[in-house]
Structure 1
Amino acid sequence: MNTLLDEYYRHDLHNPNFIERKASLNEESVWIMGIAQSGKTSLIKNYLLSHKKSTYLYLDCRDIRLEIHELNEHLEPFCREHKIKILALDNYRTNIKLFDLEQIILASEESNQSSFETLSLHLLDYEEFLAFESKYYDSSALNHFFQLGGFPAMHRLPSEDRPLYIQKTLFRTLNDIELSIMIQASKMVTQKVSTFTLYERLKSERKISKDKLYLHLQSLFDKHYLYGCEKFNHPSAIKKLYLCDIAIKHALILQKHFGKVFENLIFLELIKHDIECYYDEGIDFYLPQRNQIVLASAFANEHALFKKVEALEGFIIMHQVKEVIVVTMNLENVLSHPIAKIEMVPFSQWALGEE
């Protein structure tokens, strides 16, 4: 085992064409949580490469040569002998024993099971996407974002390889039941979906118990492959279902529905900016901390918007909503309404302003 550890220790790390993310590492021990291909490894390597090579040890715990029992026996003595200050365990497994060190960096899809700080690494938001795709910083950028989504590697792949890239990523990281759930979720994105509804869909395809389905579904939520949006003031109500990235929908099913994709993108921008949001009847997203309602309407028209807002007057008055933001593809306008300010904002402008 010491031979393998020494091999890792002497390897030169490579992290070509790294582009800065909004998330970054400091000198504290941390657990980086993010789905497969979200950029955890690049983030770690970029940080390590800013330090003297002899002070850190990077291990990829997927390496089958790293037999856990032997690793637990040899890792700490190796770090002490070589005066390692920073230990980075990529694709960390919880049966690897930790010990006191100046800094430990763990990366995993699993939730934090240590006393370290958690760094949740999302896929690219729209602003980060523009940094990765600087050549598209024009009118075509938004359309390109709809096609590629937020996986950092997508902008380097030919268009014909992108669906297979997503499929391979999911096949490698999810089990059969989780993959089946993701396929069904892709068909029901933005809908109010109960566990029972998913069970009814899946039991026609495979033998599965409700308990087993619940465990795997909860795992997908915990790892942030799926998100559920609560109904305002009704935490026990059925949640609306969203994917962690629209590219997954494109890769898993042929069904097209631009409106649902558009709404999913808006939800993800809210999540990535840590903005508290809920849904309600006729309301895509209610942001209580901002006294805002956000509606997803890619190709809105003023007459339909007035009708929609009229139906929401009771909610607007009761909760003292100050403005209704209608996120569109490219329409921009401010409408005069006696109850609340209605502002039509293009997605690109709205997403870049959501700090």
Structure 2
Amino acid sequence: MEILLEEFYKTDLHIDKYHDRKVFIDEKSYQINGITKSGKTQLVKSYLLAHKKNSYLYIDCNDIRIEFDELNKILNKFCQENRIDILVLDNYKESIKFPNVSQLLITSEHKYNIPEIDQIDLYPLDYEEFLAYEHKYDSSALNHFFQLGGLPVMHKLYIDERNTYLQQVFQIALDDVEFDILTMCAKFNSQKLSAFMIYERLKTKRKISKDKLYKSFEALLEKKYIHLVEKYNHTKATKKIYLCDTSLKSALSIEKNFGRLFENMVYLELLKKSRDAYYEDEIDFYLPNKDEIILCKPFTDERRLFKKLESIEAFLFTHSIQKITVITMNKEGSVSHPLASVNIIPFDIWALGD
């Protein structure tokens, strides 16, 4: 193992042109969590490359040559002898014992309970981060965002490679039950869906126990491959399900519904802005902390919008809603309403706002 550690220590790190993310690493120790291909490795390598090469050690724990029992015996001694200040354990395995170093950075899909280090959640790119990859910011940028989603690696792939690449990557990252659940969620994204409903559908296609499915469903939630939104004040009601990235919709499903994909994209922006959101009948997202509701209407006209507002007036009155935001693809304006201000905002303007 010492020979392998020497190899890791001497190997030059390389990353393609790196675009800064909204999260960053300072001198503290961190556990960086995120789905596969969310950019965890690029984030830590970018940080390491700003330091002297002899001050850090980068280990990809997925390297099949690593014998973890042997690694635990010599890692601390190796770090002390080579005066390692920063240790990165990429794709961290729980069996690895931490050596005594000034700064420890670990990356994982799982959140481990490690009190001594802070946690960073790294999501796929939001729209503002995505724009850093665009050659110019114009009307084509939003269309590219719909096509590519928020996984940075998608910018390097030809259009005919993207879906098969994602299928392969996620099949490797997940076990077979988790992957089947994710595929089902892609089919029903932005709709009400429960673990039991998934079980009822999958058991007709494959042999599976309810216990295994429920555990796999919880694992996907914990690793943030899927997200659930509750109905407001109805915790037992069936929740709505959203994908971790919109690119998975076309990669894992042939179902086409632009409105639901658009709603999923809006939800991910809310998630990355740490906005507490709920759904309600006829209402896409209710933000109680802001007395605001959000309606996702990529293509809408005033006549349909007025009908929608009429259908939710009881909710507006009961909850003293002050603001209604209607998010569209490109329409902008406002509508007069006696109970709340109604603003129609294109997605790109809304996503880049506060």
Q: What secondary structure is seen at the aligned counterpart in 2 of 1:181?
A: helix
CA distance in 2, matches of 1:148, 1:313: 37
1:241 paired with 2:245, answer no
**How do 1:157-168 and structure 2 match up within 5 A?**
157-168=157-168
Alpha-carbon distance in structure 2 between the residues aligned to 1:46 and 1:144:
25
Higher alpha-carbon deviation: 259-268 or 8-17: 8-17
Equivalent residue runs for 1:72-91 within 5 Å: 72-91=72-91
Per-residue CA distance 1:98-145 (angstroms, 9 max, x = gap): 13321100000011321211100000101111111233x111111111
| 1:133-144 equivalences in 2 (<5 Å) | 133-135=134-136, 137-144=137-144
- Cα distance in structure 2, aligned partners of 1:260 and 1:349: 20
In the other structure, the counterpart of 2:42 is 42
Query: Could you tell me how far 1:16 is from its partner in structure 2?
Result: 2.2
Partner of 1:199: 199
Q: Does residue 285 of structure 1 match 2:285?
A: yes
SS of 2:3's partner is helix
Say which SS state the counterpart of residue 159 (structure 1) adopts.
coil
User: 2:199 aligns to what SS in structure 1?
Assistant: helix
* Structure 1 residue 50: Cα displacement: 0.8
Question: Is this contact kept in 2: 1:127–1:351, CA < 8 A?
Answer: yes
1:323 and 2:329 are equivalent in the alignment: no
Deviations 1:183-210 (A, max 9, x none): 1111111111121110111001111111
Paired residue type of 2:47: Y
3-state SS of 2:143 partner = helix
Q: CA deviation at 1:232?
A: 1.1
> How far apart are residue 316 of structure 1 and its match?
1.3
Q: What is the CA–CA distance in structure 2 between the aligned matches of 1:236 and 1:103, rounded to whole Å? A: 43
In the alignment, structure 1 residue 107 sits paired with structure 2 residue 79? no
Shift of 1:291: 1.1
RMSD over aligned Cα atoms: 0.9
CA 1:227–1:351: 2 relative to 1, 3 Å:
same
In structure 1, what is the Cα distance between the partners aligned to 2:13 and 2:129?
Answer: 24
Counterpart of 1:261 in structure 2: which amino acid? L
Contact 2:324–2:340, Cα closer than 8 Å, also in 1: yes
Does the aligned pair in 1 maintain the 2:166–2:248 contact within 8 Å? yes
Q: Distance in 1 between matches of 2:277 and 2:135?
A: 30
The SS at the match of 1:98 is coil
SS of alignment partner, residue 134 of structure 1: coil
Q: 1 CA distance for matches of 2:263 and 2:85?
A: 45
- 1:61 & 1:183 partners in 2: Cα distance? 28
TM-score (norm 1): 0.98
2:4 equivalent to 1:4: yes
CA distance in 2, matches of 1:112, 1:270: 25
- Once the 2 structures are TM-superposed, how far is the Cα of residue 301 of structure 1 from its aligned partner? 1.2
Paired residues of 2:55 and 2:84 also in contact (CA < 8 A): yes
- Contact 2:296-2:328 within 8 A present in 1 as well: yes
Once the two structures are TM-superposed, the CA of residue 349 in structure 1 deviates from its matched residue by 0.5
Q: The residue matched to 2:344 in structure 1 has which SS?
A: strand
The match for 2:98 is: 98
1:20-35 aligned at under 5 Å gives the runs 20-35=20-35
Aligned partner letter, 1:15: I
SS of 1:140's partner is helix
Residue 126 of structure 1 corresponds to 127
| Distance (whole Å) between structure 2 residues aligned to residue 194 and residue 275 of structure 1 | 23
TM-score normalized with structure 2 length: 0.98
Distance in structure 2 (CA, Å) of the matches to 1:124 and 1:247: 12
Quickly say closer, same or farther: Cα 1:89–1:186, change in 2 above 3 A.
same
Question: Is the Cα–Cα contact under 8 Å of residues 293 and 321 in structure 1 kept in the other structure?
Answer: yes
* Conservation of the 8 A alpha-carbon contact between 2:331 and 2:345: yes
Gaps of 5+ in 2: none
Output the amino acid matched with 1:32.
I
Distance in structure 2 (CA, Å) of the matches to 1:81 and 1:141: 50
The structure 1 segments of at least 4 consecutive aligned residues displaced by more than 4 Å after TM superposition are none
Does the aligned pair in 2 maintain the 1:33–1:112 contact within 8 Å?
no
SS in 1 for 2:12: coil
Aligned position for 2:181: 181
Report SS of the residue matched to 2:160. Answer: helix
Decide whether the 8 Å contact of 2:29 with 2:118 is kept in 1: yes
Residues 218-266 of structure 1: CA distance to partner in whole angstroms, max 9, x if unpaired?
0001001000011112222211000001111111111111011000000
Aligned to 1:62: 62
**How far apart, CA to CA, are the structure 1 residues paired with 2:15 and 2:194?**
42
Q: Give the Cα separation in 2 of the matches to 1:194 and 1:213.
A: 11
Task: Give the Å deviation of 1:216.
Answer: 0.2
Map 1:7-18 → 2, pairs under 5 A: 7-18=7-18
Alpha-carbon separation, structure 2, partners of 1:65 and 1:203: 38
Question: How many residue pairs align between the two structures?
Answer: 353
SS of aligned partner of 1:31: strand
For the pair 1:348 / 2:348, whether they are aligned, the reply is yes
